Each structure stands twice: as C-alpha cells, then as structure tokens.
Chain A
C-alpha cells in the first residue's frame, strides 16, 4: 500500500482539481507521501475519473480508498476518503468549496483558478485544515478571507506594488 502508514481511519487523504484534459489545477495532500507516490496517485485517479460516463454515480472504489468526485463546468473536484468516511457529506464539502470560490472570484471559472491558483489555496486553507472542515458557516469563512486579503492589500499599498 503506497499510502502513509501513520494515517488513521476517518480522514480525507487528498483533494485534487483537474481539467477535462487531465491537467492538474490544485493538489492538497493531507498525508505525507513521496513525490513519486503523489504523481502516481494523480495519474491513476485522473485517468479513472475521466473515463467515467457522464451520468455515473459520483463514488468509486480505488484500492482501499473511496473516491468522491464531481464535475463543475470544466473542472473535476476529487477527494480520496477512508473506508469509514461519509461520501455524501463530502459531496457537500466539495460543493461548499465551489461556493466559496464563486463568492471570492465572482462567477468563478477554470481560468480564474489557473491564474490565481494561490488564492484558491488560501480559500481552501481557510475552509479545511488537515482534511477536516474548520468552519461550517459560509459567511464566516468569506469574512475571514476578506479580512486576510485586506491585510495583504494594506501591505501592497504600503509597498505601492501589487501582490505577486
């Protein structure tokens, strides 16, 4: 088994975003893995998910993990879960993340995530920590993101330069 041994039950192992052509747009790993293992997982899962028919069920089994995925426009949002995890609530989690992205970017599309990938990570990190939801109120997360971003802008104004 290529996944790390010191991982206990009930955990989201990773979250991946990839396009319909299989290009990776975001990867968040909640367990420690070697680069080689990560690449292999990405390859296998991308291939598995992309070959599913359109009306198929959003859950599938891969090795000893449950894979939950959903397609939003041209992006696939995909999670790897442990055997005991609740797939339906994970679907809600993915949906909440998309909502947060949408709120932050305003009608988010794949290009937003490509050109502002670091923002997508910041949003995710404000919603999920080590594979668990940290804040269940959408408004709360949005507010924290706003305040953090404004902290950044203050810096920018001070430096009179844009961020990145």
Chain B
C-alpha cells in the first residue's frame, strides 16, 4: 500500500467505525503502528506516521509520544518532513512542554535557510508557540530579518516580532527602530504587519506611544491613498481597497489620537473623509466604517465629527443586515453615557429592535433601552419594556425585571404608577425577580399611605387570580394582613367597589396556606397575615384561632413555631395581642434601620414586633410559651434604660412601647472580630463576625462547653434593636444538676460591622 494511501486509508477506516469502542480499538492499533515506525527511524515513512498521529490528536486522543518525533523531523533536511514536523510542533508542543526548547536550535538554523519557504516555516512556528525563553534567544535574528530580507519574509518576521513582544514586553525596545522604517514599505502585507507591530509597541509602552505620534501624518497619508486610490484588484474587497489594512490603520490612529489634541486634529479630516466616502453596502465597507466610528468616538474629535459618527451608527440601526444592527447597538451602548442626547434621537429604532427575532439583538436592545430611560420618556418606555417582558426569551427576563425596577425607582412619575408597575412585573415574571423585591415593594407600599386601600384591593384581586408567583403572593399576604380592615371596608376611590367579606379574605389566605405551590416562606407570610387579621376583623376570630391551632402541629418547623406562638398569644397573652399585632410603622428606606445589607446568622433575628425567636427550636410547645414570656421580659425588663432610639416612631400603647424600646443607651465601641462575650459555669459564648460581601456580614454566636460534664436544656434568646448594632442575650441551661440563667449585653461589635446597617424582613 502506498504511503499516502496509508494516511487517507486510516482516516477512512476510523470514520467507518460504528461505535466509540470500535473507534478506540482502531486508534489503539494505529498508534501502536505509529510508535513502531517512530522507533524504526525509516526516513521515508516517519512523516506519514506523524501526519497520522496529528489526525488522531485532532480527534481528541493523547499524542504526547509524537513530540520527540516532531523535533527530529524539524531537523531533517527535507522540506516535506520539515513542513509536517513544524505543523506537529505547533499542534503538540506548546510552551508548557519541555520538548519545545529542543527545537530552538533548528528554528535558529532554519531562519537563515536559503529557501524562503523553510524560513517561513520557522517564523510561523515561532510566532505560534514560541515560549518566552525561545523568544529571548531568537529575537535578534528576527530583528535582523525585519530589516534585511524580502517582503515575503519581512511580513512574517513582523508578526513574529508581535508575538515576541507579547511574550517578553521588554524586547519592544529592540524592535522599535525597525518598526518605524517599515511604514515606508509599499507591500501591503509588510505594511499591515508593521501597523500591527507598532500597535503592540504603543500599547505596551507609553513612551513608545509618544514617539509614534510623530508618525500620524504618515499613517494619514497611507490611509488617504487607500481610500482615494483607483481600483486595484489585488487588495480589493467589494469596492474597498484593502479593508484589513484600513481597519488596522484606523485602530492605530485611535490609540495615537486618544487624549491627545494635536494628534486628533491631524487625523480629523481623514476620518471625516473615510466616514463620508466609504460605501457600506457590503460587510467590508461596514467594517471600515465601524472602525472609523470607534476611532472618532475615542479621540478628541470635534463635535461635528462626533455627530457624524453617531448618525452613521443610527443608519446602521436601520440596516437589513442583523450583524450590523447588533454591532451598532454595541457601539451605541459604549457612548450612551457620554453622548446621551445624540443616542436619544435613535430611541425609537432601538426600541423597535426589542422586537427582533434574534436573541443577541434583543439583548443589546434591552441594555440600550434601559440606558435611555429618562424622566421625560419613562411612561412610554415602560410600556414598551413591559410588553417586552411578557414576550421576551426566558434568559432575559430576570435582567429585564431588575432593569424595570431600577428605572421605576429612579423616574416614577407617581407612587401609584410605581406600585402598578411593580405589580405588573410580579404578575408577568414573578418567578424571575430577585429576592429583595419583596421587602422593597413592601417598604414602598407602607410609605404610600394614601394608596393603602387601593393597593390592598389590587393585590387581593391578583391573589384570587393566581397564587403561583411567590413574590406576588408574599406581598399580597403581607398587605392583606396589614391592611385587611381597609379591604373589608369595600370602598376605595381608585377602584370599583367590591364586596369582600371576612370569610372571603380568610379563604384566600387559607388557600395560600394549603396550596402545594406555596413555598415555606410564603406559607409563613400567609399564617402571620391570618393572625394579624384577628385584630382587624370582628366576626371570624374563632376561625383564625382554629387555623392557628391546626398549624401548631404542622410538620414544617417554622410554621409550627409560629402557630404555637400565635396560639400562646391567644391564650395567655390576649391582653397584649392588639398591641403586638398593631399596624407597622412606616419604614423609611434611608433610615439606619433599613438597608439592603443583611445580617444573617443563626442567632440574630429581626424584631419588628419584638418577637425574637429562641435559637433552639426543637422544644415542645409548653416551653415555647415559657420562652415567649421570658423574651418579653428580656426586652421590656426594668434594667432597660429609658430613651428610645430616635428613629422608631412613638407608639400609642405603653406595653408596646416597652417592647419596641429596645436596649437603649448602649454605645458601641469597635473591637476585634472574635470576641468572647460570656464565660461562666462551663459555657463559653463567642461572637464572630465575617464580612461575606460588601453589604453582607455574618455574625455567628458560638456556644461551647468547656467543662467535663454535659450542659443540657440549653436555651438562648437574643434581641437586637433596629437602630444600632447591640445585642442582649439571655441563656438558660442545666449544668451539673443546677439550672443557670444569665443575661449578657453585647455593646461592641467590630468596626466594619458597625459601618453598615441591618435590614429586617417583615414577618
């Protein structure tokens, strides 16, 4: 069988394999044969074997054993063997392999070879896989070739020099003088390489950049002759003379003109000329125009030129070619901040692109549309964005939703519009919104007291329609719990009156409680809302009582705990119920008590209604009520100093006042991240603060037993005020037969924890 047939035959055989296993078997056999032939050293066959190995490598199989063969073949005097050897080197030997150094000598010799095609192989390979060491070794040789060789070699040498500079930036100085003189070459290949080389040099070294600014007139001249030259078939693509070279020159001009007035001025006319004369009906012309626009926007061009550039982008937006629409939007995105008004003129077209079929175009249009929203166009833009939200592909929904929220927050023309918009988003894309939407919306609703009636009616109706979107359901439950009395009144200026009975409302909440679609958090909302209604409705309190007691034996621990506590509120603490379940005060978003950061941690919980929960949750119901009692003591105890935190608004009920009047008068002082707060009777409590992200800190309270005997019945309660970061902790436990109870006050937290505020999610 003839050797060439061998390679193609092997390929045929491999392709005919029907299964992966069969293919592996064939590959194994072939590799064994290849290895044998490498060992034999028969000159005629080695190159064929390497070619076969390279094919196997492309299929994804290991081919390390071919590396030395590449080295040997490169050193061979025969061109065909060198050719395949160098190809093998580029495919199998990268700079991470040790064997790559072995070819340095061969490359050095081949760089001086009499045949330019051998030189070319060496240059190409060095430019492809040369390691830093090899580059350092061979740089002088390359520099020599840059100066004194024919154009065929020069153009390759320049690009090889580019690679060398990428690997070893200090060698840039070596190439700078020759690079400058290359600009006077006539050969387009060399010129192109020279421009790339100069670009690299300028990017790496600001001094070199300053030097090359003097070359701007020369570059302008080259560019001008390209643009105005008559048709030359050799470099012409679709009527543009050498678009590759034009694009590279424009890019270099961009770097040279950036932040430099004189350079920018020198290229001003040229850019105007290119921008007006280039025919953009085909991709080649559009590529040049695109690069021109980028250059104009990035240098200190005069305003007329900038307007010209933005108009070109606007024209691109109307182009039939989807690619051109896409890149026009990418470019507009870059300049939307600096040239906002100019881009606004094209807002209509951009919004139309939201309806494009292509997802990439849609994504760009979305980014740009969100950037163009302003106080003036908010209503119309929001209409478009909401339509987009209902029809957009799923991967864009969450981005759209958050974009809409941001825009609404910044430019909402009225509160009602704002609430309506958020509700619309929640009904359309409730599953894709971020978690902080719920507290944010609730805060917005509480702040808009004049619309409470309207809001609760709307939310109630949304709830009746659909309970699958958790965020919406949570907000709805919270509002119904909070403003249920307004709902039952039935009348509201903004909405047609509808009869809502107490049973209807309780039915709705129970549906949420019992639905399998509701997440545990949602059910918690619903249960608490049901409980709150006990003070806002008159006839059906018993129904609420029974709901609450049923959930006292719910499997979900959180629900069970809540139910048990609410039960206790009915039984033992009925006199406090009204105060505890009172309407919440208005949350001010900018107050210290409410921000986007949150402290999470096993043992610190928020306490809007001062219902801190005990850390250990596995206790039976009797001690739960005991704990509730203790907790109320903890917070309202006689040793609490009197001044309430200034931010908390005063409440009418005095016992509520006690509850809300938390831990006043404690001054924080900065301290170390790890702090032992209590150490007695074998129990040690340590406080540890870890900053998780810029806005999140996790505070962990670690309890440990330092004694030899067990500590049992351990209970820990913690209370935190809204305003500042302090904590009062009470623990009770049994140790060596004695019941110990103690309270400790933690005044000082580490300073970086103090620098931000906790946020509290409503119950």
Complexed CA–CA distance, A156 and B83 (Å): 13
Known: A9-B203, A130-B128, A139-B234. A88 touches B80 (CB 8 A): no
Within residues 181 to 217 of chain B, which ones have a CB less than 8 A from any CB in chain A?
A: 188-189, 192-193, 196, 199-200, 203-204
Among A25, A58, A162, point to the contact of B4 (Cβ < 8 A): A162
**Docked CA distance A6–B291 (Å):** 25
Instruction: Report yes or no: A57 in contact with B189, Cβ–Cβ below 8 A.
Output: no
Which segment, of A71-79, A101-109, A111-119, faces chain B?
A: A111-119
A56 touching B80 in the complex, CB below 8 Å, given contacts A136-B189, A136-B245: no
Is B578 interfacial (CB-CB < 8 Å)? no
Annotate B284-305 by CB proximity to A: 1 below 8 A, 0 otherwise: 1011001100100000000000
Contact among A132, A147, A163 with B193 in the assembled complex (CB-CB below 8 Å): A132
Q: Does B51 belong to the interface (CB within 8 Å)?
A: yes
A93 to B245, CA, bound (A): 12
B44 in complex: contacting residue of A24, A136, A154, A159, CB < 8 Å: A159
Give a binary string over A12-54; 1 marks a CB under 8 Å from any B CB, 0 the rest: 0000000000001111011011100001000000000000010
Looking at the complex, which of B235-243, B417-425, B506-514 is the stretch in contact with chain A? B235-243
Contact with A along B1-20 (1 / 0, CB 8 A): 01111111001100100000
Tell me if A152 and B83 are in contact (CB < 8 A).
yes
Report if A7 contacts B (CB, 8 A): yes
Report the bound CA distance from A152 to B290 in whole Å. Answer: 42
B200 contacts across to A, CB distance below 8 A: 8
Chain B: interface residue total (CB-CB under 8 A) = 82
Which residue of chain A has its CB nearest to the CB of B6? A164
**Among candidates A25, A86, A129, residue contacting B124 with C-beta atoms closer than 8 Å:** A129
CA distance in complex: A114, B14 (Å): 12
Stretch in B52-60, B598-606, B751-759 touching the partner: B52-60
Q: Are B360 and A92 in contact (CB under 8 A)?
A: no
Is A134's CB under 8 angstroms from B189's CB? yes
Scoring A residues 151 to 163 as 1 if CB is less than 8 Å from chain B, else 0, what string do you get? 1101110010111
B80, A86: Cβ atoms closer than 8 Å: no
- A117 to B203, alpha carbons, bound, how many Å? 36
Min CB distance B20 to A, Å, is: 13
Contacts of B237 in A (CB 8 A): 92
Given contacts A88-B283, A132-B159, A155-B79, contact A137 B188 (CB under 8 A): yes
**How far does the alpha carbon of A148 sit from the alpha carbon of B80 in the complex, in Å?**
9
Residue among B58, B325, B357 facing the most chain A CB atoms (10 A cut-off): B58
Specify which chain A residues have a CB less than 8 angstroms from the CB of B54 in the assembled complex.
Answer: 117-118
B627 contacts partner chain A, Cβ-Cβ < 8 Å: no
Whole-angstrom CA separation of A125 from B159 in the bound complex: 12
Interface of B is mostly: helix
Given contacts A59-B323, A162-B3, contact A32 B95 (CB under 8 A): yes
- Residues on A with C-beta less than 8 A from B166 are 6-8, 130
Q: Is A98 an interface residue (CB 8 A)?
A: no
Q: Are A133 and B156 in contact (CB under 8 A)?
A: no
A92 touches B244 (CB 8 A): yes
Which residue of the partner chain, among A39, A56, A139, contacts B358 with CB atoms under 8 Å? A56
Instruction: Please tell me if B47 contacts chain A, counting CB pairs below 8 Å.
Output: yes
B163 interface residue (CB < 8 Å to A): yes
Complex Cα distance A147/B152, Å? 13
Residues of chain B with a CB closer than 8 A to A162's CB? 2-5
Residues of the A chain whose Cβ atoms lie less than 8 Å from the Cβ of B361: 57
Question: B residues within 8 A CB of A122?
Answer: 83, 87
Q: Does B84 contact A (CB under 8 A)?
A: yes
Per-position contact with A for B222-261: 1 when CB-CB < 8 Å, else 0? 0000000000001101000011110100010000000000
Is B593 part of the contact surface with A, judged by Cβ < 8 Å? no
Does A151 contact B287, Cβ atoms closer than 8 Å? no
| Contact among A56, A132, A133, A164 with B48 in the assembled complex (CB-CB below 8 Å) | A164
Q: Measured between alpha carbons, how far is A25 from B414 in the docked complex, in Å? A: 60
What CA separation (Å) do A112 and B273 show in the bound complex?
Answer: 44
Complex Cα distance A59/B156, Å? 29
Q: Which residues of B contact A65 (CB under 8 A)?
A: none
A residues near B7, Cβ cutoff 8 Å: 164
Residues 124-145 of A, flagged 1 when their CB comes within 8 A of B and 0 if not, give: 0110011011111111100010
The contact sample of 12 A-B pairs, CB cut-off 8 A, is: A39-B60, A56-B358, A87-B323, A88-B286, A91-B287, A121-B87, A137-B235, A140-B189, A148-B83, A156-B80, A163-B47, A164-B7
Q: What 3 pairs between A and B have smallest CB-CB spacing?
A: A88-B287, A162-B4, A129-B159
Known: A57-B361, A137-B235. 15 other contacts (CB 8 A): A6-B167, A26-B58, A29-B94, A39-B60, A55-B357, A86-B251, A87-B323, A88-B283, A114-B11, A135-B188, A135-B192, A140-B189, A147-B117, A161-B2, A164-B3
Interface residues of chain A, those whose CB is within 8 Å of chain B, are 6-10, 24-27, 29-30, 32-34, 39, 53, 55-61, 86-89, 91-93, 114-115, 117-118, 121-122, 125-126, 129-130, 132-140, 144, 147-148, 151-152, 154-156, 159, 161-164
